[in-house]
Structure 1
Amino acid sequence: MVQSDRHAAACSRFPVADLDLAVEIRHADGDPGLLFAHGFGQTRHAWTGAAMALAEAGCRCVTFDSRGHGESDRVPHGAGYHMDQFADDLLRLAHAQPQPPILVGASMGGLLGMVLAGEIHPSPFRALVLVDITPRWETAGVERILAFMQAHPDGFDNYADAAEQIAAYLPQRRERKSEQQLRPLLREGADGRLRWHWDPALLAGDLVQESERYQPRLQAAAMKISVPVLLLSGARSDVVSRATVDEFLQLVPHAEHVELPHATHMVAGDANDAFTREVVRFVQSLDSLPVGRLAAAVQSQ
């Protein structure tokens, strides 16, 4: 992996079992190390704001595109995607770090982190930050996400068209995405139309149904998690609810839960400053950094 300074990150390739992942490292010599795993249909760019702030504060921050997402490779045609592949990719990335990292996992990334932390001993992670995800989730919220992902198979005429559709999907966001912000999220096809970065095969196979079948395994794994855990949920989320949070806290009684009042399922995007502050506080509680240094650095951003 290419190692960059704390202010910028060059994209490099990381080989896994059958393909390469796109990976960025900010502040390669920082401590502690944080490994960010995005949600289904997202990219590493979902973490840019938080990763930049935390790297500037002294942390090693690794972000990546999951297989079939962003600039990472897609599986060969017809091969399909499976949850165990994503989990194995994350495990390989964790083992490639200088020390067991703190995993920051949103949605799908958090589910994978729970499985690995509960099933592998010793845990590949020093701690977990789970971002709006629990072993059981609200089906209606997931269906809304999938409906958006499936809504535009023919793509968009231009970036403004895509920005309009995102604004309709995320009405809580005050500002529309610019063309510069959208470029990493869209690909231009041979027909000149812009389509989302993810491989359509992600939606065509049984991966979504497979994730539902994962729930008993997730619950069993959660009960075996021994590392520190912070669950950050959005008060306006339609994926995580009070019931699923309460159930999770029964499974993992040592976990801490913080609800961010203005956030939906897209916690880091909706409330990045509040999200980053909570991650800072949690990292400090692990005695990873001199008290106050990390917080002071983030507050100066």
Structure 2
Amino acid sequence: MPYFEGHDGTQLFSTDWGRGEPVVFVSGAWLGSSAWEFQMLPLSERGLRCIAFDKRGHGRSDWVGHGYDYDTLADDLAALLDHLNLRGVTLVAHSMGGGEVIRYLSRHGYDRVARVALVSATAPLMARTADNPDGIDAKLFEAVTPERTADRPRWMAQNAQAFFATHLGNRVSSELVAWTVQKCLDCSAKAALEVVRTGFATDLREEAAALRVPTLIVHGAADASAPVELCGRRLAALVPDNVYKEYPLAGHGICISHAEQVNQDLLEFIGDGPA
């Protein structure tokens, strides 16, 4: 069955393709499991079991009005791994999904997980604080909220090109851009608001520094949503056992615009690619 129960009974939708070593994909804010098709199809054809799910408030999962903090989202991820009784898992997370994975490991341990890949992660801390002076001012972050919530379709359409950094020559068709915008709109207004606040404000520095599994960190140097100096490079400096890959021209939508390169890096990291 495609549905499983979150820790509080929330009905969550999942997709499960292929057989072999399990790879679980964790989406970022606004996007659901279907946005991973550019990874799930080719990797499942390479002999991996590829699993993705719609986080609460997204896609075909229940559009509940609560539970958009990292503790709850990590517990939902734990419910999926328990439901399928997965072991030796590679967790692949995009954007704020990286925070879900980091919190899952600090909260639930390493028994089921072999390695993690953090792609364009909005971690370890984006908000400016006294000991994170290079972060983004919370007032600037919240200033965007009224415009985004008043007309989500317009705001997302206007920011889609920056998501892919097409101004740097990244080739993403207009149809694919429109498809991605529609995927981003397939979540509740409540979820759309709350998950970005969680991803922005949560301090994951200590948890990232305590990770005890091999970690692949992939980030675009032109990422406007999770600036590389604040996120990718900071994670690479914190996580003990990591391989860091920085794509010079990639934006935040790296799993689509640079799908072939991301997939090859994932295969090599998991051990199915060339030596």
Residues 259 and 14 (structure 1 numbering): CA distance in 2 closer, same or farther, change over 3 Å?
A: same
Give the TM-score of the pair, scaled to structure 1. 0.73
- In the aligned structure 2, how far is the partner of 1:279 from the partner of 1:201? 33
CA root-mean-square deviation: 3.2
Query: Which amino acid in 1 is paired with 2:24?
Result: L
- In the aligned structure 2, how far is the partner of 1:185 from the partner of 1:251? 32
- In the aligned structure 2, how far is the partner of 1:267 from the partner of 1:107? 10
- In the aligned structure 2, how far is the partner of 1:235 from the partner of 1:84? 29
1:1-301 equivalent positions in 2, closer than 5 A? 1=1, 12-16=2-6, 17-27=8-18, 30-76=19-65, 79=66, 81-95=68-82, 96-133=84-121, 134-137=123-126, 139=136, 143=141, 149-150=148-149, 152-153=151-152, 155=153, 166-167=160-161, 170=164, 172=166, 173-177=171-175, 181=179, 185=183, 196-204=185-193, 207-215=195-203, 218-238=204-224, 239-242=226-229, 244-284=231-271, 289=272, 294=273
- In the aligned structure 2, how far is the partner of 1:204 from the partner of 1:108? 13
- In the aligned structure 1, how far is the partner of 2:159 from the partner of 2:223? 19
Deviation of 1:163 (Å): 6.5
Deviation of 1:14 (Å): 1.6
Deviation of 1:165 (Å): 6.9
- In the aligned structure 1, how far is the partner of 2:230 from the partner of 2:193? 31
Residues 149 and 295 (structure 1 numbering): CA distance in 2 closer, same or farther, change over 3 Å?
A: farther
What do residues 59-87 of structure 1 show as CA deviations (whole Å, max 9, x unaligned)?
A: 000011111011111115xx463332211
- In the aligned structure 2, how far is the partner of 1:152 from the partner of 1:253? 42
Deviation of 1:117 (Å): 1.9
Deviation of 1:265 (Å): 1.3
SS at match of 2:255: helix
What is the total number of aligned residue pairs between the two structures?
A: 255
Residues 254 and 81 (structure 1 numbering): CA distance in 2 closer, same or farther, change over 3 Å?
A: closer
- In our comparison, the structure showing a higher alpha carbon Rg is 1
Query: Which amino acid in 1 is paired with 2:240?
Result: P
Contact 2:91 2:101 in 1 (8 A): yes
Give the TM-score of the pair, scaled to structure 2. 0.79
SS at match of 2:101: helix
Residues 200 and 248 (structure 1 numbering): CA distance in 2 closer, same or farther, change over 3 Å?
A: same
Percent identical: 23
- In the aligned structure 1, how far is the partner of 2:219 from the partner of 2:180? 26
Contact 2:164 2:252 in 1 (8 A): no
Deviation of 1:221 (Å): 1.2
- In the aligned structure 1, how far is the partner of 2:158 from the partner of 2:196? 26
Deviation of 1:40 (Å): 0.5
